[in-house]
Structure formats: structure tokens, C-alpha cells
Structure 1
Amino acid sequence: MACVTATNPKGGFTAKAYPGDNKTLLAFNFDNKQRTVNLAGFSIQVQPPGKPAYFLLNDLLFPTPNKHAVNQSEPPNSSANSPFQKYRWTHFTGQYHQGLNPAVGLYKYTVTPRYFDNNGNMLALDATLSASVTIDVGPFKKGALSLGFTRGYMQSQAFEHHFGMHAQLQPSGKPLQFDTSAAAGTDSTGKSYAYADEYAWMGESARVLVFDVLNEVLNDPTLSLKVFAYDLNEPDVVTILLKLAAGGRVRVILDNASLHTNKAGTTPEDQFTTLFNKQKKGKAAIVRGHFARFSHDKIFIVCKNGAALRVLTGSTNFSITGLYVNANHVLVFDDPTVAAKYSDVFEESWKDLAKANSAVAFAASPLATAPFTPQLAGISKTVINYSPHSATDASKVLNGIVTRVNQETGAGVANGNVLFAVMQLTGGQNPVYTALNNIHGSESIFSYGISDAPAGTFLYQTSSPQGVLVTGKPGKTTLPPPFDQVPSPPGHEIHDKFVVCGLNGKDPVVYCGSSNLALGGEKSNGDNLLEIHDDDVATAFAIEALGLIDHYDFLDRFANAKAAKTAKQGSVSKPAAKASVKKTKAVAKKAPAKKAAKKPRAPKKTARKAAPKAGRRTPAAPRSSR
């Protein structure tokens, strides 16, 4: 793993930096507990390439700042004056200091432990106690694999500060096509912004990868594209696909389950189909189908002279909610062997969707009966399964994930861990759902999970060795000062489907892709499920999980009371203004920090049974530093 470590022997202090996708996980530790006596927290200074250094900001201030040593050249919310009281912190480049286009390259992070005197007053920053780590920060790429994530987080301080409380993601009437450079609204300062500005911020690196592939094909007349689409209404994606149709250079398999079609032809997918058929020329063609339930893949395959060169896949729908509201991931393989296999899946699906029993036909094909195991430079092992499967094969694939999850709790496994973000964990008898819903109860493993529909909610508790399972749909919330109230987004927050096992272990692995990890879906849907054994890839996904879970662990604590009929199911205990966040054993061992006066303690974890359908999702407080 490309982890960077620095230790300062004077204070027995160690700082580690783990690279993610345009973000860095920082973790801190001491060599013994005595070093934590009178600990006030950690100041973090960032030196980006070619730009001035700055301290990260902390929204939580001391109640009486003048009691403490103050750096007059820094604002009150600088971590130089208000240190972070956590043993890890995720830095998202940009936001306060670099805007929407932060620098890419080597970043130097200098972390300094801060201490109180015996009267509870914070002492001045002592640079002789600092530890500095330098790490490459930018888009994730390893060998032939590029990885990206949507940012989403519409219900965050960062989104509200950029786009205000009343941001609109589409013009009124929700047209399929519109000019995304048009003004969408104004922020709290009265400054105008365009839909494209919202999309760039919310879509983040996943959007970059999607349009990198589309524009590559659009701008090279020798290239063509094969597309699997489920939800389809992102206006710029639609425009490019229609241009390719007019040039005879695209074939599309588009889902036509009931949510994507109607007799009036008014769904976005129906509108797209009508426009496509009017504009198509040459070899351009479109097929509508849904196997036994859904054609659920989200895939681009780039071809030249009939040969596949490159493929994009993942959990991200080519829609406004998929790219800009949901938490999602995108993977791009610049590998002809992988692209060729996906092209085979496309051709088999094109053929089978014309049959009455399309799911049965695909499940019987060699593409579904045996996993695909490409050899990728720099990646230890990759396994890809394509569905729909037979019942036997579906169970085999999902039980393989359960076995790997359970291995982390086995005897002899040091610091076993499972981190996940999975859209749904309820509905039917599904082995993966059962395993992920139950693992938080184990005291022998670090588990950290989030779902829009978990079987229960178990918030972080400082005194408990059990795991954390939070919901991405807590319902309405009321955030306390100093946090601003933030907008409520439409649709799912957690649309990801990934599970990380064994971070920092001998065989770290991530399961990801479009599969909902359910037996019904594996038997009935067109999907692809990837299993990637690689420490850097697993780390990038783990950092994404940590951000999501920390964010919603905080938000879930401020969920407004439910109606009387649901109150019987339990409620989350009322918290203080900010919760401490559990630190993974897989990253750094936690030592107790002394909290500043009136800085809040984490509330106790309370099990809350989730309703089958969560209420409208509400804004959350900020996660780490955006």
C-alpha cells in the first residue's frame, strides 16, 4: 500500500497518509498512553504543490477562545486555533482554500499534537512535536485501472456554501435536453452559478471519467461505442449519444422495465428512444429490454474497427441523480482483454433480449456460468461475474462474498475489518444482506457500514467495541449551531454497492460494480460484479466508506423524532453538538484524547430498527474537510 508514515521521536507521535481518489486519509497515533495526557487535539497544515500552505478549518471552536494560545494570523476556525479532536481526518482538496479546481500533485501534511496546561488552557503550537508526510494527491489510477467517485453530498455544509439552500438540479419541467451552461441559481452571496457548475462539483471524478470516455469517442471518427444504460437523463450524456447516433457510431441497450417506460412515451428513456430512432444513421441501433426484471448495467465500451479497447463500468447511472445526487463509483479499464469480454456480454445480451426467456438464455451462456479472471498489470487478482445467473450460480457468487466477510472474524486474523456502502440491506433472504446487517454486533472485528435501507441503525459509541451501521436516509434533521441547515436532496444518497474486506491485511479485496448483491437481482438482472484484490484499490474504497459513514453517523444523531406509530420501533438518543468518530483498527490504534472544555462527547449508540421505507432524506453536517 502506498501509505506514507512519519514519526517524531520527541513526542512519540506518528502520522500516516493513505491515498484515495482526490483525497487523503490522515491517521495519528502515539507510542504510549502517557503521550495523551492533556492532549487537546491535532493541528493540520497543508502545503499543496505550487501554492501557499494553509491550516485546515474546524467548525467547532472553543467556547472561550481567549483562554487558549491564539495564532493571530489565523482565523478562529483554523485548526491552528481549534484543533481536531479525532485520531483520523480525511482531507478533500479544494473547498475553502483552493476553490473548485484544486492543485494535483505532491501534498505535504504537517500534523502537530496540541496540549492543554494543567489549568485546561491550550498551549502554543510546538513545531518540534510535528510530523510531516508528503503524498501524491489526485485522481486514482493504477496500471490499466482508473477509479472515480461521485461527490453528491447535497445535504452538506460544502454544497450549501457553494450553491445555497434552494439549488435546482434541473430546469422546471425537467426537459430531457437543456443547456447546462445556463444559470441554475445564486449562492448566499448572490453570485450566479450554472447547472454545469453544480454537476462538476457533485459528479467529481466519476463525472470526469464518464465524459472522458464519451468525448474520446465523439472526437475520434474512427471510434464507436456500445452502451448499457438503466436510468438515462443526464442532458450532456444524452446529447453526445444522439450525436453518435446521427453519425452511425453507437449501439444502446436501454432498460424498459415499468419505471422506464409508459404508454404515453413520456419517461426520459422513452423520450431518448424516440429521438434516437429519428436521428440514427448507418449502424446506430437501440434495443429496449429488461431480462426477468432489469437491464441494470451501466457500461460504455469503446471500439475501433470492431475491436473493443476500453470499458467503463460501476454503480453510476447516466442520470442526474446517478451522477450528481447518489454516492456512486466508476471504474475504467484501459485494457483490450477486459473490454473485449464486456463487448461479448453486450452482444450476448443484445441477442438474448429478443428472446422470451432472456434471463434463462443469458444464464446458460458461458459468460454467466464461469467467472472472468483477467490478468491486469499491478493488480493482484481480478474476478468479474456477469448476470443474470442460474439460482445455483447466483448463490455461489454471493456466498463467496459472505465467506470472505466471515474470514475477517476468524481466529488468527489481526485487526480484521469490513467496511461497506450498499444501497439496500433489507428485502428477502439474501446472504450478503444478512452478513452485513449482523456484523456490527461482533466485538472481534472493526466493522463500519452504511445503507439507505439497513435492518437497524447502530451509531458509534466510544465505550463499545461493536461496529457501526448507519442509514443514508435518516429523515428530517435539525442541525445545531454552529452548523448551517442544508438542502434535502432527491433520490437515494447511498446507491453504491461495495464491500471492502481486510484493509491492511494480507489479501485486501473490494467487491463492487452494478450488482445489488441480492439473490433476486443476481438471478433476474443484467449486472456485473467485480472482485478486485489490491491494497490501493481497497484503500480508495475504504476512504470513501469512512467519509460516507462519518457524515451520516453525525446526521442520524440529529434525526427529528418519528411519528407516533414509528416511535415504538425505538429512537436515536439525543446527542451533543458533535460526535467523536470511531477510528479503524486497520489504520491506527486509538488513544484517548482529553476534550476541550464544553467540547461535546459522543452520545451512546442506540439500536434503531429501520422502517421498510425511509422518509425523505434530510441535510447532514459536513464530513471532514472538503
Structure 2
Amino acid sequence: MQSARAYANNEVAFIAWNLTELIEGCLGFEITRIYVGSEEPPRVLASWVPFRGQANPHWKPQTTSVWPVQKLCWRDLTLRRRRDSTGLRPSDVEVKYRIRPLGRARDGREAIPPGRDAPNYDGEPIALAALDEGVETNVVRVTSSYGTDLRVAFTNGILSAQWLKHALEEGGEGLTPKVVRTHIANVGDPLRKYLAGDVLDFMTGALATGDDVTNKLALYELGDTELADAIKAKRRQISVILSNSSKGRDGEDWDQGNARFRNDLHEHRIEVQDRMFNNGHIGHNKFVISVKDDRPFAVLTGSTNWTPTGLCGQSNNVIEIRHPDIATAYADYWERLRQDTAGFKRPVPLSASTANKQGAELREHNARTACDVKLADGKTRVRVWFSPNTRATTKKAALPPDLADVYSRMRKANEAIFFAVFMPSRSGKLSIIEEAIDVGTKDSSVLVYGAVSDPTAMPNYVAPQKVDDGDEDDGEEDPSTKRRKIAPPALYDTGNVHVIRAAALGHDDVVGSFEAELLKLGNAIIHDKIVVIDPLSEGCTVIVGSHNLGYKASYENDENLLVIEGNPRLAQAYAVHILDLYDHYRFRAAQAEMHRHGRSHWEGTLEIDDGWLRSYVKQDVKRESPTTSLVSYFAPLANR
């Protein structure tokens, strides 16, 4: 091994290492987390997938000394959140990683002692030994802070995970949507805290300020008891613009998700503006402004809706920026929203449909950049956009101004574009999905990796074609014809462009010791709205906010969008979050794709010879461009 690099945010680390040649007899890599400047002992990372001929029926962890990593990159998922308890490991610490190749303990090589609980799996153990001393990565800081005035946090809301099923079963419960919904709605529940990560603390912390600080909120959804109580606790220093939530699946009434909490705020005499569209337009913001002495000084925004599902049942993020100019831009926008709402027709009842849409004055203001400033470090530049920002009130083919800014930056990418989105548009048309693919197609040296939530957002999605061949598949059944629809694609791989959709293991495609998983609790799985451009470069860019990153959001929705340049640590933190999603769902999407085409599945076990590495060396080491694979980009063999 010649190169090993680590990158981290406040939840997860991504580690990549590269080879100059095949390591004969290598059965995988042992990864050890080493705390720098701390009394915390080194910890060999956990692993759950056994060798061929073994089984892990109770999904008990071993270490990578027992079940090594048969890849050239890995995610440290237990960097903060343990799998054996709800306790937290410390943040604001520095760590590095040692990666050692392991092979069979023979030819005089001393076997690595198994852990104290090993073996607690089925099958004969394989004694392993280090093939060399390995290499260490750079030191990374596990933190939410990316400057004195900039903080970021991410949820742990990936539900299609093996640990969740086993954790619930240990408590005598089954893995069902109802059971999970009960846990995540229960204030103080350990599972709720685990899945919400630091995001919940960010959101309550934005409101838990002194009596001399007031808050202004613009929210799309409010359905969480703890967050609603935090609003009510500050009722004399808070004002809320609350839009309508969507229709319920079982009726024609709008705002079913918000209605009870909206009424509760009114009953507690909170200052609430009911911004009711009750149509295809939505007030999609999720931000909090903090004001002291009539001067806005901070804003909290991102993709996280104020609901249990937003906190715990989806991948989401929040970003807090403490800068008076940025906070003032948001406060001015909030006031324009309030004034725009005065022109709305109030529905009677509030759940009734309307023709309300944003007015021309609001749109005209939003068509210009709201703010463009440097933060305290003198390097990080933040540009703010608000929506809607077009004259037309419904989506057209003309590129809106905020996305014109985003696209211009994507087209200047030198090395890589990463993205994670919910559902910007059907087949990714007129959205950053289409633009990222276009950039990667025109320039094969630009690596493009993306993760989408909704199957219909996949670039190779087409409307389902019914088949009647008698074969079973994982599509939907049409009860009127008793025929099945072809399942939507789960992967899009074309050269240097790779896009996956969120997926879970079903009963038909479980392998090895894996079991069926829960995919989602509502519509969204990946709910982030993120683009990261050239994260290893000083000229990197992060695009984030509530904006769904498609034309509809710019034309029809209340949205906010941040374009942040020149902060590599921040860009790498967001890139790690995207890679966490991509890597988690890639395996599941591949299983779904193989099932879709009737192909054989991966066995769900580690190989017992070095054949796995030979394919990696052929694929990753002999490329000419350092941006044609994740490994060669994040752990380049030559100095950058």
C-alpha cells in the first residue's frame, strides 16, 4: 500500500487506501481507529459479514481482525454512534486510521488473537495474520464546526440497516413501520436520539436562547412534539410562518400533518402566519433566524423538516451560520413572505384547496442574489438565493437564476461532483441530476457520484411497462389485470457517472446472514438536497438548503439555497455524508438490480482467497486519471 486517506464529519469517517500492486494472499484489511492526543485506546473497527462457510445469524459484530474488509474503502459508522449501546463517543477529537493487509496465519506468521467474545458465530474460524505493518492515514477532526461561524450536522436516518431489526428484536419488538414510528415520536426515546444524531440538538438549541433573543421561523412541516414544545416555551419571543403540509393519502384534505400542531400554536397564542397554498405550490422552507437588539445574527437551515420522520426516518442535514448579513437576508425574506401571505385567500376550512401562489413582488426580489459575503476565516464565501425567483408561476423550460448559478459552478468542475437528492424531477430532467450527468458525459475526467431517493428520479427511469409472462418480480401488481409492472431501475452506471437509488433488502433478495429491512416510513428516504463540487480542492463548492434542486422548486416553491465556496473541510464533511448514503444503498441497489434482471446475487460472505483483490487492482490501480474511481480520487497514488 502506498496511499491511505481519511475524511470525516460529525458522524462518519470515510477511509480510502490504494495499492501499487497485488498483495498475494490478502484476505482483506484490518482497520484500527487511533485517537490522537487522547487517552482513548485504539479500537479495531467492527465488521459483521463472515467468510464463506461461516454465518452470523444474530448479526453480532466481530472486528476487522476476524472479518477483514474486502474493499479499498470503508466507512467508520461507529465513529460517534455505537452499535452495542445508545451511548455516544466523543466529538471534537482527532483520529487517524491504520490499515493492515491480513492473510492466513501460516509460513511463520503469528496469528492475531481473536476478540474476547470470538467466536460467537457459526462455522470454523480462520486464523489471520498481518502481511505487513500497514499504513496510517492523515489525522482528521471529528466535529460539527467548520469555522468560528459555521456548524453542520447530519441525521442517522438510514432505516434499511441490519442493526435496527436486531436492536428492536432484542427489546421484544418486530421491525414494522408502526413500531419505529412509535419510538421516533417518543421524546427522550434512545432510538429517536440515535437516529436524529446531533440535528435535534441543533434545532432545539436554535430556540433555547436567552430572553433577549427572538426567533423567526419559516416551516413547511411541524409535527414533532419536542420541537413544538420548544416553540411554545418561547412564545413571547417567537414568530412562525407555517405553510401547509400535503394531502393525506386517505382523503382530499390538505395540511393533515400540520393541522393539530398549528391549532396548538394558535391556542397558545404564538404569533403564527398560516401560509396556505393547498395546491401544487409549497412553502418548503425550514429555517430559524435569531435576532438580538433588533439585529439578526444567525440562521439555521437545511433539509430537515420539523417532524419525527424528518429527524429520524430520513437522511437530512442542518447548517448554522452566524453572520449578520446572511441572517439579515433571511430576515428580509421572511418579512417578504409575511407580506406576500397577506394577499392569499384564506381557505375555509383551512384544509380546503385554493389557487394561492406567490406574488410578483416576492418573485422580483428573489430573482437577485440576496447576499454574497465572506465568513470570518476570510476564505469561505457564502451566496444566498431564495425562491420562487421567476416571473412565470408554473415550471417552464427556461433556466431559473438560482440554478443558473449552480449549473455554472457544476460546469467548472475539475475533478468530481457528488450529490444527494430526494425527488427534483421525473427522470432527473431539468434538475441537477441531468446537469451532473451532462458534465460527466462531456468530460470523462470528472467523476460523478449521486444518490437519489425516489425511483422515478433515476435518469434511466421510464414509465412502468406491464408484462404478463408469469414470472415474479419485485414490481407492483395491477389488480385490474393481474399483471405486474416492471420494477424501476436501481443503478445508472455509464463510464465515470454513477447514480443509485435508495433501496432495502427484501425477502426475495436477502443473502448470507442478511435479513429483510425496512426502507422508509413516508415518501422520502434520502431527503438531503446537496451538491458538492471538487471537495479536495481549495476552490470547492457546497450547494445546500431546502431547495429540491430542480426547476419546479425555483418556479413554484418557497425555498432557500446556500452556495458555499472555499471551505475544503466543509466540502469533505458533506462529501462524506453523500458517500455514506451512496455506499450504503449501492449494495442494496445492486441486489435489487440483479433481482430485476433475474441474475444471481452476491453470496453475502467474504471470499476465502485473494481473488476479490485481483478484481479491485485491475479496476482501480491501472487507471490513468485519478478521478475515474472513488479510491483513486480520495487516495491518489501520486501527490495532489
Measured against the shorter chain, the TM-score band is 0.7 to 0.9
Measured in 1, the distance between the counterparts of 2:574 and 2:141 equals 17
2:212 matched to which residue of 1?
222
2:527 matched to which residue of 1?
495
Unaligned runs of 5+ in 1: 1-11, 66-74, 182-195, 563-569, 592-626
2:31 matched to which residue of 1?
44
Measured in 1, the distance between the counterparts of 2:185 and 2:601 equals 44
1:557 matched to which residue of 2?
590
Measured in 2, the distance between the counterparts of 1:307 and 1:252 equals 18
Aligned-pair distance for 1:56? 1.0
1:97-108 maps to which residues of 2 (within 5 A)? 99-104=86-91, 105-108=93-96
Q: Does 1:243 align with 2:233?
A: yes
Aligned counterpart in structure 2 of residue 80 of structure 1, from 60, 65, 74: 65
The one-letter code matched in structure 1 to 2:218 is F
1:270-349 maps to which residues of 2 (within 5 A)? 270-280=259-269, 284-290=271-277, 293-349=281-337
Q: Describe the superposition over 1:278-326 as per-residue Cα deviations: whole angstroms up to 9, x where unpaired.
A: 2116xx3433234971111001112223222221001110011111111
1:146-165 maps to which residues of 2 (within 5 A)? 146-164=151-169
The TM-score normalised by the length of structure 2 is 0.74
The one-letter code matched in structure 1 to 2:527 is H
Aligned-pair distance for 1:127? 6.0
Aligned-pair distance for 1:138? 3.2
Does the aligned pair in 2 maintain the 1:313–1:513 contact within 8 Å?
yes
Measured in 2, the distance between the counterparts of 1:391 and 1:472 equals 35
Aligned-pair distance for 1:135? 2.9
The one-letter code matched in structure 2 to 1:206 is V
Aligned-pair distance for 1:29? 2.0
Measured in 1, the distance between the counterparts of 2:406 and 2:244 equals 30
Aligned-pair distance for 1:338? 1.6
After alignment, is 433-442 or 289-298 more displaced? 433-442
1:209 matched to which residue of 2?
202
Measured in 2, the distance between the counterparts of 1:202 and 1:76 equals 20
Q: Kindly tell me: are residues 560 and 51 of structure 1, through their superposed partners in 2, closer, same or farther at Cα, counting changes over 3 Å?
A: same
Does the aligned pair in 1 maintain the 2:387–2:557 contact within 8 Å?
yes
User: Equivalent residue of 2:563, what SS?
Assistant: strand
The one-letter code matched in structure 1 to 2:200 is R
The one-letter code matched in structure 2 to 1:77 is Q
After alignment, is 53-62 or 262-271 more displaced? 262-271
Aligned counterpart in structure 1 of residue 190 of structure 2, from 179, 192, 197: 197
Aligned-pair distance for 1:180? 2.2
Aligned counterpart in structure 2 of residue 486 of structure 1, from 517, 526, 530: 517
Q: Does 1:55 align with 2:85?
A: no
Q: Kindly tell me: are residues 173 and 583 of structure 1, through their superposed partners in 2, closer, same or farther at Cα, counting changes over 3 Å?
A: closer
The one-letter code matched in structure 2 to 1:515 is H
Does the aligned pair in 1 maintain the 2:151–2:320 contact within 8 Å?
yes
Q: Describe the superposition over 1:389-446 as per-residue Cα deviations: whole angstroms up to 9, x where unpaired.
A: 01589623213323332333xxxx4xx2111111125338515342235566564332
Q: Does 1:527 align with 2:562?
A: no
1:173-184 maps to which residues of 2 (within 5 A)? 180-181=187-188
The TM-score normalised by the length of structure 1 is 0.76
Identity %: 21
Does the aligned pair in 2 maintain the 1:446–1:585 contact within 8 Å?
no
1:86-125 maps to which residues of 2 (within 5 A)? 86-92=71-77, 93=79, 94-96=81-83, 99-104=86-91, 105-115=93-103, 124-125=129-130
Aligned-pair distance for 1:376? 0.8
Aligned-pair distance for 1:256? 2.4
Aligned counterpart in structure 2 of residue 396 of structure 1, from 394, 397, 401: 401
User: Equivalent residue of 2:199, what SS?
Assistant: helix
Q: Kindly tell me: are residues 573 and 501 of structure 1, through their superposed partners in 2, closer, same or farther at Cα, counting changes over 3 Å?
A: farther
Aligned-pair distance for 1:546? 0.8
2:368 matched to which residue of 1?
369
Number of aligned residue pairs: 532
Q: Describe the superposition over 1:228-259 as per-residue Cα deviations: whole angstroms up to 9, x where unpaired.
A: 111110110112222323xx221111112653
Measured in 2, the distance between the counterparts of 1:335 and 1:543 equals 26
2:174 matched to which residue of 1?
166
Measured in 1, the distance between the counterparts of 2:190 and 2:216 equals 28
Measured in 2, the distance between the counterparts of 1:406 and 1:515 equals 19
The one-letter code matched in structure 1 to 2:330 is Y
1:378-397 maps to which residues of 2 (within 5 A)? 378=377, 379-391=379-391, 395-397=400-402
Measured in 1, the distance between the counterparts of 2:53 and 2:505 equals 34
Q: Does 1:454 align with 2:442?
A: no
2:338 matched to which residue of 1?
350
Q: Kindly tell me: are residues 340 and 437 of structure 1, through their superposed partners in 2, closer, same or farther at Cα, counting changes over 3 Å?
A: same
1:127-146 maps to which residues of 2 (within 5 A)? 128-131=133-136, 133-146=138-151
Taking only aligned residues, the RMSD between alpha carbons, in angstroms, comes to 3.6
Measured in 1, the distance between the counterparts of 2:409 and 2:601 equals 35
1:623 matched to which residue of 2?
none
Measured in 2, the distance between the counterparts of 1:198 and 1:275 equals 26
User: Equivalent residue of 2:535, what SS?
Assistant: coil
Aligned-pair distance for 1:505? 3.0
After alignment, is 133-142 or 513-522 more displaced? 133-142
Structure 1 segments of 4+ aligned residues over 6 angstroms from their partners: 117-122, 168-175, 260-266
